[in-house]
Structure 1
Amino acid sequence: MSVRRIGSRYVLERKVAGGGMGAIWVALDSQLQRRVALKLMAPERIASSSARYQFEQEAKAVAQLRNPHVVQIHDYGVDEDTPYIVMELLEGEDLETRLERLGRLSPVVVSSLLNQVARALAAAHASNIIHRDLKPANLFLARVDGQEVVKVLDFGLARLMDGGSAASTEQPGRVMGTPRYMSPEQMRGDVRIDHRTDVWSLAVVAYRALTGRFPFSADALGELSRNGGALAEAPSLLVPELSQGVDAFFTRALAVDPADRFQSARELASAFAALVESCRPTQASKILVIDDEPDVQLLMKQRFRKQLRERVYEFIFASDGEDALEKLRQHPDTDVVLSDINMPRMDGLTFLARVGEVNPLVKVIMVSAYSDMSNIRVAMNRGAFDFLVKPIDFQDLEATLTKALKQVTELRQMVRSTEENHLLRMFVNGGILDRALPLMRGPDVVDGERVEATVAFVDLKDFTPVTTQDQPEAVIRRLNANFEVIVPELLSRGGVVDKFVGDAVMAVFRGPGHLSRGLEACLAARQQIRAMAFRYGEASPYVHGVSIGLDSGELIRGSIGAKGLGRLDYTVLGATVNTAARLTVMAERDQILIGDHLRLRLEGGFEYRELGSRCLPGSTQALAVLELLSRREERVSSSDQTASMEASAPRHSSVPPVLAASKME
């Protein structure tokens, strides 16, 4: 097979994206011995002088922007009459792919995204460049030194502004861009649009990221371009937890008249960041009081009437432990529980043993008679935060409540502060809260409990020979490169990484839909590793592929180890874990194996094929085995597909989830 060299320097290796303007290739820079992304103009566009001008303008526009949030241009040239642009090679995925996978993002994550894009647009607008095609497909979430950095791609429709508006280099009425994200003035083909068209597009990106929906229907877009009469649907109607402040933000951000919008991307991002900060939970501290005495409610309301009036406290009341567990389910933001010990149906000690199942963050203060010291000792051993004796000293009670609320607030702030790092946010929610917090509640967690869960092992196939052939540092780098791709897919679907076992990772999924989430995570991990191997080729760390085994059922979880020596691990064990591990050993490269006993629980949502009865490795047990192939695809409305209103050629791309560089215009 002949090797094609561009510009006597760049050796084309693999085509990774294609579109109406051309194709993106992974290429080797033979002079600097590094891989780059090379954008090569499509042969059918070469004869068009306007297309060549547009291609050259993209290179010039991006080359002016020395900004970490803009994809960097290394070189531009013409090879045998074919223009090309050489760019940095990026690792990660675009925002479009992320949204298709996750649906929508939290306000904190969206705020971080907007801040980074705003920096890129500020640099562009300061250089009198407007992007004109800002959309999730052109926002790349690149992995850089272990962090996720947003990069703005594809300045193929960028134009230089002259005197504050786009230079008049196009025919009036000519519309270019992606309809869903174009401002009204851009849809009308106004020649002298300015940077505020990008501010509109950024607002549409934010709306979609927050809600998973577009602010305007296809019909409303037409009305918007004609007379500007359409209004975006209030985001809080789509996502109830969003505030009316968010609605007001988008009313301004999506104003038809550019003068009524935010006047810069930085202003938009700053306003949204302030909104997110102001929406942080500031409501009254919620306290659940459990007591079967009928006069307790009245007494608490009288003693704390000032705090209730000033919304410092909010009380919820339950008559016994069973009622209290239900109240906790109804009020998951409860901070502190004040519980009597002696109650009907479920006493305070039984409640204390079960409260962690419903709310692992809540602090429990026990109340009992002074003579009941034996029960108080049991309560403290079971993880009670503190105890009070009857009759209650209300000054002591308020001091104890203040101390407990302070600890809960600090813990929640610790969790919240990790949200801007998307990967760490997922780990904290799924891992630390599920594993570390139970250990903080007291030593009884060592006793263990039975739970329903799904266990998956994701193993790098035939990795062991590498450990004998390569240097230790190279082996670890190669292994971790794969885990950095696999683990986010497990965490993003609610999985908890239980442990790394050699060249395999073990993940546990609990809660509603744990089997489906586990299966989806395995499919996504396999796809991401395939995409990385496709992108980097046979010399990359990703060529091993993965073998995966998964099982679902009853497990025992708890702390195991030598407590007296201070060495404990919180883990799961049982037949379900063993079956998943043995299926992993049996699996071939890129196979995902499950037992036939899970067939009825797949709910028709997955494709699979029967492999027949197999004897599991290390066991005399025979098991009917299925190979998981894929998730059944959902039909996507063609009206939601983005396309250029100008392009005559179909704008199709076979880009894998992990992209090599800028998407095509």
Structure 2
Amino acid sequence: MSQRVIAGKYEIVRQIGRGAMGYIWEALDQHLRRRVALKLMSPDHVASATARTRFDREAKAIAQLKNPHVVQIYDYGIDEGSPYIVMELLEGEDFESRLERIERMPLPALVPIVMQAAMGLSSAHAKGIVHRDFKPANVFLARGEADESVKILDFGVVSMLTSEEDLTEDELQLTSSGSIVGTPLYMSPEQIRCGVVDLRSDLWSLGVLAYRALTGQHPFPGQWLGMLMVRICTDPFPPPSSILKDLSPEVDRFFERALAKDPDKRFRSAREFAGTFAALAERKEVGPAKILVVDDEPDVPHLIKQRFRQHIKKSVYDFVFATNGESALAELRKHEDIDVVLTDINMPGMDGLTFLSRVGDVNPLVRTIIVSAYGDMTNIRTAMNCGAFDFLVKPIDFKDLEVTIEKTLKHVTELRSNARSTEENSVLRMFVSPSLVDRLRSSSPFGTIDTWQGTVVFIDVAGFHARSKAQPPTDRVRTLNANFEVIVPAVTNRGGVVDKFLGDAVMATFRGDNHVTRALEASLDARMQLRTLALRAGQDSPFALGVSIGVATGEMLSGEIGSKAFGRLDYTILGEVPRAAAILQASAAKNQILLNRGAFDVARDWFDCVPVHVNTSSPMAAFELVRRADGGGRAGPNSMAETINLTGGPLGGNGSTESGNGGPLL
């Protein structure tokens, strides 16, 4: 193939790599006389409409990104029926090869790689692009004239954050099929479960990459696919400091957030991830309040130090200086303990207003004081609307400045205290009913009874008791938690609340608008994701047990039940509705969803349901939820297409992926 010319101008020279759907060649652009990398779809993929769609989407995704840390695309087309992508030719090695050679990297050396990779991901996320196969093999360390730079490769399994109505049927198949798309070792729990994937999934993958590079170990190793999937979805990971004793507790806390099972508890953006990671390389000690002053006037540092010399001498304040927005962001990343920013508006390079819009991405608890000329009220109003805490006008009244700094520091202290309280409430919610936590935080008298309309869902792990008889206690708990790690997000993503765990069952409640529809969507989501995991991980995995689900809707009571005299109370739901849901769940077979009459009356316009008979002590009308209307189409808001066959076929999983052999692209 060395003499082949693609599209009449790209002369193939030699093969240099392999990607998810084809081979990578070094080629010569005969028109421009430059060397390029040419990705040519392999013949076995050309016949697949899905593969061709994915290849086309990869080209379109990369073409949108003009970032120095994403491989650049020059051309795209079809030659003799085979699609091709022409990209910049890189020299160097992928990060996977580097890690295989050196095993692990010290934290300071890893920081620039993570920072640059995060910048590339941030560019993609800003365009609504989720990589979905971010791993060391797709992070290339390109050699330049002076140093190395990171380039993100292979957007072959990219997902676009767009509405389903904008996607073709082939594109829907890419993201909702039961097959694994990506590399399991670096997949987030929601991607493993075939759940909703957004930019936080890429940040999980970046966290796995950073953990492996820092410690030399994978946080969730697995000898076979089923084991790996359970560990990613259920198990904790070893704290990095337990592997390398010189790593600080701050590093452990960073990865607790980066690798949180719940996407809402992870970093909000790639910039925030990178800034926090970079700060780990700085040794910090408890000390004075740290204030960042941003101004391009050369005499400002001297004036500040003179005016606050006593505060500095007594270690009350510590000042950091920057001359524009860009250098200020760099200082924020280096000093994550900065409390207050004092910034001018008019500066060369990045001005104060642009800098203000970026502060929250680096440190959301920092508060900014804007300084501007007295007559510049338009900019001051803009700054206040963009989140500035306060403002001062020139010429500066230093007494006023001191009072403003004190007031701002007090506010930041309260924010940090509230953040700690939020963490404590999050821990509390892990062990008690969320409705009880809300009751404790509310001003309502303890003991009030609420009456409300809503829907109750009982989700039981159907085959748990039969399997658990042969399991040791630790495996029983692990099996149950593996299922709950799928069920709980399915409920909460639809706005439901897990009221309590009852042995091997979950009781969830839904209130507010569309509570019936959301409850049914959550039930279908949980069933689909568990079936998907079972297909991937095999019959011996915890996910193959299946679920039986009962759904009932109507009027309910909430109140405190128990003995106040002996201090044992449970804030719980009363009435016929939870009882009906429990009866329906007990009557449901494996992977069957049963509804009461009230839920059916709402569901009949959105879902396919059939009447069924249930054996109960008192007559009860029951209906089976089969699928969304139109054979799994788009029923209700934010519905997820259910593509797993629920009526038959053995469960199995060979652990294959659709991302090729995981080798480097270039």
What TM-score, normalized by structure 1, do the two folds share?
0.42
